Chains A and B, each alone.
Chain A
């Protein structure tokens, strides 16, 4: 049972445009959501997070939106840069500090 789903395995965006990565979840007990970025053969690095009491969190070029009624979150990157090319994982937690990860979306930024 996949509780966190990233339905797009890959996404290609032109440099300077907006990248939008999507994530859906099924467990209504999730109260904290995170996005991680991963380069090949490296560990994931934390990008941005959001608590379920908020619907938006912004950090520089990265903004995460949470729609609790739709059980959907998205990560917006604007403007997209070549160094943003990586695999992005969304993750969710139900308060026990265990994280449940999605399958990942490979983002490619084209010059």
Chain B
């Protein structure tokens, strides 16, 4: 079945440690995205990539880094510079171009930093 996988589902880290969240898709989509969701708030865009080896900052990129070495993979690193890292992180992908802007989402990773 085609889809997006994120692992792990739950992640716990100590403050000051970097942590990398995995996102893999087998939908053959060119574009991939990382969002963060906090209680009572919508999804806020962290980074996005429309093609391999290229990515752009979203609205809240500070304290995060990404790489896009393969079409299928778009890992997100939450660095120790991110002031409030505890959140629910969602990865999405979409087909570049065309008339549909629909994004497909993974199941999410809940990160707790103490």
Binding site for B on A (CB under 8 A): 4, 6, 9, 32, 34, 36, 41-46, 49, 51, 89, 91, 93, 97-104
Bound-state Cα–Cα, A49 to B101, Å? 9
11 other A-B residue contacts (CB within 8 Å) besides A43-B107, A45-B105, A97-B50: A43-B4, A46-B103, A46-B104, A49-B100, A97-B31, A98-B58, A99-B45, A99-B101, A101-B35, A101-B43, A104-B42
Q: Closest residue of chain B to A36, judged by CB?
A: B105
Residues of A within 8 A of B9 (CB): 41
- Nearest Cβ distance between residue A15 and chain B, in whole angstroms? 26
Residues of A within 8 A of B106 (CB): 43
List which B50-85 residues lie within 8 A (CB) of chain A: 50, 58
Residues of B within 8 A of A6 (CB): 42
| Pair count A-B, CB < 8 A | 60
List which B90-113 residues lie within 8 A (CB) of chain A: 90, 92, 94, 96, 99-108, 110
Asked whether B43 lies within 8 Å of A98 as measured between CB atoms, the reply is: no
Asked whether A103 lies within 8 Å of B101 as measured between CB atoms, the reply is: no
Interface majority SS (helix, strand, loop, mixed), chain A? strand
- Nearest Cβ distance between residue A57 and chain B, in whole angstroms? 13
Bound-state Cα–Cα, A54 to B101, Å? 16
Asked whether A43 and B96 contact (CB < 8 A) given A9-B40, A99-B103, the answer is no
Residues of A within 8 A of B99 (CB): 51
